[in-house]
Amino acid sequence: MAGPRELPTDEVLVQRLRSGDEETFALVLDSWSGGMLRLAMSFVSTRDSAEEAVQDTWLAVIRGIDGFEGRASLKTWVYRILVNTAKARGTKESRTVPFASLLPQEEEGPTVDAERFRAPGERYAGHWVAGQEPRPWDIPEDHVLRGEVREVIAAAIDELPPRLRTVITLRDVAGYGSDEVCALLEISPGNQRVLLHRGRALLRRKLEAYLSGAHDVASGRGHA
């Protein structure tokens, strides 16, 4: 599971927040705000607006911590407030994310370019076309390249359609399980999985393009 690694248990966190421990507040603020900002971007149109949604959320957390009942984890509770806050802002900006509706056009179709598979009727139809199968990656340990890979992924996430971005952010960046994500976004497990899969496949494609480009330079391998 990704996410903050060294936070105390919820019980300890809540008790310290209620007693006004500033260090603990700074700790959760710094641990969660980055992910919250990314998540808020799914619902609003500008980074400023996302940042305001995150601020409003923290203010609501400060005011509401005494009423926190511990039915969900503290982080889930905070994220729910964020989703509601950001959704409300997004609606005002007429940018709603209709999770319940059918998948829009850009999110349909195969997640791997159909031309990479043998066409129906051909021998071995549906199997990789020779030379089009994924080539193994070699991501060196080198921290510079690892950093670049991270940048490629971060940029790719920013370009995802909002619903894909939201689900990827919750599942793969913040490390939530599918049940939690379904509850948080009020979508079915099947719908959640479709969005997640499309998002992951798009990120893999971006990495593939980036890494094969890098390899081409290194090995002189051309691209047909």
Q: Which residues bind other proteins (CB under 8 A)?
A: 2, 20, 22, 25-26, 29-30, 33-35, 37-38, 51, 54-55, 58-59, 62-63, 110-112, 114, 117, 125-128, 133-137, 139, 149-150, 153-154, 157, 168, 172-173, 175, 178, 189, 193, 196-197, 200-201, 203-204, 207-208
Rounded distance between C-alpha atoms, residue 64 and residue 110, angstroms: 45
Q: What is the nearest approach in angstroms of other proteins to the Cβ of residue 192?
A: 9
Cα separation values, 135 from 128, 132, 200, 207, 218, Å:
12, 8, 18, 12, 15
Q: DSSP characters for 101-124?
A: SPPPGGG-S-SS-GGGBPPTTSTT
Q: What is the nearest approach in angstroms of other proteins to the Cβ of residue 62?
A: 5
Q: Which of 97/195 has CB closer to other proteins?
A: 195
Q: Which of 29/72 has CB closer to other proteins?
A: 29
Q: Which of 67/71 has CB closer to other proteins?
A: 67
For the purposes of burial, counting CB atoms within 10 Å of the CB of 140, is it exposed (0-12), middle (13-18) or buried (19 or more)? Answer: exposed
| Tokens linked to 8 | 């105390």
Q: How many helices (H) and strands (E) does the chain have?
A: 8, 0
Q: Which of 24/97 has CB closer to other proteins?
A: 24
Q: What is the nearest approach in angstroms of other proteins to the Cβ of residue 218?
A: 18
Task: Determine the distance from the C-alpha atom of residue 86 to the mean position of all C-alpha atoms in its chain, rounded to a whole number.
Answer: 16
Query: Which residues of 22-179 form beta strands (DSSP E)?
Result: none
Q: What is the nearest approach in angstroms of other proteins to the Cβ of residue 184?
A: 17
Q: What is the nearest approach in angstroms of other proteins to the Cβ of residue 96?
A: 23
